[in-house]
Amino acid sequence: MDQNNLVNNNVSALNGVSAGMDTTNLVKDNLTRKKPFSSYSIRFDAASADYAITQSGIDSILSGATSFTISSWINFSDASALRPIATNWVSSSTSYNYILRYYQSQIQFYVRANGSTGNATYSFTPDLNRWYNIVGTWNGSGGPINIYIDGVAGGVQGTRSGTMPTITTSEMFGRYVSSVNYYHDGKLSNIAYWKNQLLTENDILNIYNNGISQDLNNFKIPPTNWYPMDESHTYFDGTNLILRDAISGRDATGYNINQENILGNAPGSEANGTGTNLTIAYLKSNMKNSINNSYSINMADYADSVINPANSGRSIDRP
Amino acid sequence: MTTYIVIDIDTQTKLIDFSQINTTSSQTMIRNVANTQAMLSYQITPSFITNGRVDPISTLDHDQALALLATPEWTQPDPGPEE
């Protein structure tokens, strides 16, 4: 007798039998479905001129890049006008570097290197209030510029060979500065950069992850900068909403946005509740089988550059 | 529910208490092309509206605000990202 005799017809009479395969044919599936990394996102209102921006005057994320990949999650409330995703393109500063945006039923991705611009386009009419994963890739060697929507490459490939210049202007999320300012109207989540890394189509399909955000620290190629824009990586500093860079600390500062803009709606997690008129005092250390908890109030784990910063014992674990 | 108001920049900006509204400051408020009017937003009606200190040109909801922003007085077609 051999394994062909191991059939239990009481369980299933429709078992398949492989031919010419053994256990070495078992491969680990690199597509996973699990709890979303982010349950909240940031809402950007074009009519309120909402945007976030990184610090200028220092080398920007893609300064001197020879290739890069940008991944973003976007959800449109209105798609009747130009809606920027991530840009570093400021006409008034004659600093032209890249633009990832939606305009005129296209995702458009512009890259400037060696003094000239190339761009890819991808025809796209978004459903409103639905999450999309938009990825742009550029390889300065040979110059291909590509766009992926929900893990699928498409549209018209662009070309621009070379190296990006030294860039000291800011990354902007949800804003594009041209002759006038353009703003996103909807939500953004988990914008990540891979400088000098050209992710493959398989990598990008993994990022899409069936429409669910994931912990990019555990991604096989960790990004160089990552803005989760969620409940764990966003805080209000008293004036502005700060969007943490979970990789390298190059935080972005939100303008015209505050705690009201943190919504319980994120890729793969669209039914979270948001408290109204609830304060920290309503957070009770008492729940089923767990009644003796404690929590801190007004303690900051991220109190950089102050005298005697609060130290709860996890000061390197920034929100 | 967010409410949007349009104000005259020259006469009204100095009367705005930005701590009561979504807009961070006069430097970040959205302006029309002529730079004569600005749009501000809030969820809770600020006192400078209740007490009449600020006199908006118009009060809008989100759809009306986007419609206004789409007019030539407030935006321009993107000429293309060329310098």
Torsional sign, CA A81, A70, A207, A215: negative
State how far residue B76 is from chain A, nearest Cα, in angstroms: 7
Instruction: Summarize the confidence of residues A209-222 as an average pLDDT.
Output: 94
The b-or-e profile of A142-168 (16+ CB within 10 A means b, else e) is ebbbbbbbebebebebbebebebbebe
Q: Please name the residues in contact with A197: beta carbons below 8 A apart, sequence gap of 6 or more.
A: A67, A68, A69, A221, A224
> Does B16 touch chain A if contact means CB atoms closer than 8 Å?
no
| Three-state secondary structure readout of chain B | CCEEEEEEHHHHHHHCCHHHCCCCCCCCCEECCCCCEEEEEECCCCHHHHCCCCCCCEEECHHHHHHHHCCCCCCCCCCCCCC
Q: Flag if B41 and A48 touch (Cβ within 8 Å).
A: yes
Q: Which chain B residues contact residue A48 at CB under 8 A?
A: 2, 4, 22-23, 30, 39-41
Cβ atoms A258, B26 nearer than 8 A: no
Over pLDDT 70: what percentage of chain B? 98
**pLDDT higher than 60, residue A307:** no
- How many other C-beta atoms lie within 10 A of the C-beta of residue B30? 25
Which of A22 and A218 is assigned the larger pLDDT?
A218
> Does B43 touch chain A if contact means CB atoms closer than 8 Å?
yes
DSSP state for residue A211 in the 8-state scheme: G
Cβ atoms A140, A67 nearer than 8 A: yes
Over pLDDT 90: what percentage of chain A? 65
For the stretch A27-59, pLDDT in tens is: 766 655 568 999 999 999 999 999 999 999 899
**pLDDT higher than 70, residue A125:** yes
Cα A114 from Cα A138, distance rounded (Å): 14
Which of A24 and B47 is assigned the larger pLDDT?
B47
Q: Which chain B residues contact residue A257 at CB under 8 A?
A: 22
Most confident of A232-241, A288-297, B60-69: B60-69
State how far residue A257 is from chain B, nearest Cα, in angstroms: 6
For the stretch A142-158, pLDDT in tens is: 999 999 999 999 999 99
> Does B26 touch chain A if contact means CB atoms closer than 8 Å?
no
**Given this model, what pLDDT does residue A35 score?**
82
Which of A280 and A177 is assigned the larger pLDDT?
A177
Which of A305 and B34 is assigned the larger pLDDT?
B34
**pLDDT higher than 60, residue A164:** yes
**pLDDT higher than 70, residue A315:** no
End-to-end CA distance of chain B: 39
**Given this model, what pLDDT does residue A32 score?**
53
State how far residue B73 is from chain A, nearest Cα, in angstroms: 11
Q: Which chain A residues contact residue B29 at CB under 8 A?
A: 49, 256
For the stretch B31-56, pLDDT in tens is: 999 999 999 999 999 999 999 999 99
Residue type, A2: D
Over pLDDT 90: what percentage of chain B? 89
pLDDT level of residue A317 (50, 70, 90 thresholds): very low
The residue of chain B with its CA nearest to that of A259 is B22
Mutate to test the interface with B, among A100, A145, A180, A183 (most CBs of B within 10 A): A180
Q: Flag if B30 and A49 touch (Cβ within 8 Å).
A: yes
pLDDT level of residue B77 (50, 70, 90 thresholds): confident
Cα A34 from Cα A22, distance rounded (Å): 29
Q: Which chain A residues contact residue B76 at CB under 8 A?
A: 179-180
How far does CA A248 lie from the centroid of its chain?
15
Helix then strand then coil, in percent of chain A rounded to 5, is: 10, 35, 55
Residue type, B9: I
- Kindly report the average pLDDT of chain B as a whole number: 93
Whole-structure pTM value: 0.81
| B-proximal residues of A, 7-46, CB under 8 Å | 45-46
**Which H helix or E strand runs over A245?**
none
> Does A258 touch chain B if contact means CB atoms closer than 8 Å?
yes
Q: Which chain B residues contact residue A96 at CB under 8 A?
A: 81, 83
**Given this model, what pLDDT does residue A273 score?**
67
Instruction: Summarize the confidence of residues A106-119 as an average pLDDT.
Output: 95
pLDDT level of residue A305 (50, 70, 90 thresholds): low
The residue of chain B with its CA nearest to that of A180 is B75
Q: Flag if A182 and B78 touch (Cβ within 8 Å).
A: yes
**pLDDT higher than 90, residue A139:** yes
Which of A188 and A12 is assigned the larger pLDDT?
A188
**Given this model, what pLDDT does residue A319 score?**
44
State how far residue B19 is from chain A, nearest Cα, in angstroms: 8
**pLDDT higher than 60, residue A301:** no
Q: Flag if A91 and B41 touch (Cβ within 8 Å).
A: no
